[in-house]
Amino acid sequence: MALKATIYKAQLQIADMDRNVYADHTVVIARHPSEADERMMIRLLAFALNVTADDHKGKLEFAKDLWDVDEAALWHKDYTDAILHWIDVGQPDDKRLMRAAGRAEQVTVLSFSSSTPVWWKAIESKLTRASNLVVWQIDAAESQALAKLAARTMQLQVTVQDGTVWMSTGNDSVEITPRRLTPRLD
98 located within any domain: yes
CB 86 within 8 A of CB 75: yes
pLDDT per residue rounded down to tens, the chain (186 residues): 567 889 999 999 999 999 999 999 999 999 988 899 999 999 999 999 999 988 889 999 999 877 777 789 999 999 999 999 999 999 999 999 999 999 999 999 999 999 999 999 999 999 988 999 999 999 999 999 999 999 999 999 999 999 999 999 989 999 999 999 998 765
70 located within any domain: yes
2 located within any domain: no
| CB-count exposure of residue 111 (10 Å: 0-12, 13-18, 19+) | buried
Residue 136 sits in a domain whose CATH number is 3.10.640.10
At residue 1, the pLDDT reads 53
CB 77 within 8 A of CB 61: yes
At residue 114, the pLDDT reads 94
Count: domains in the chain: 1
186 located within any domain: no
Beta pairing partners, 90: none
Q: What is the pTM of this model?
A: 0.94
Q: Which domain holds residue 13?
A: 7-180
1 located within any domain: no
Amino acid at 46: A
DSSP letters for 149-170: T--SEEEEEEEEETTEEEEE-S
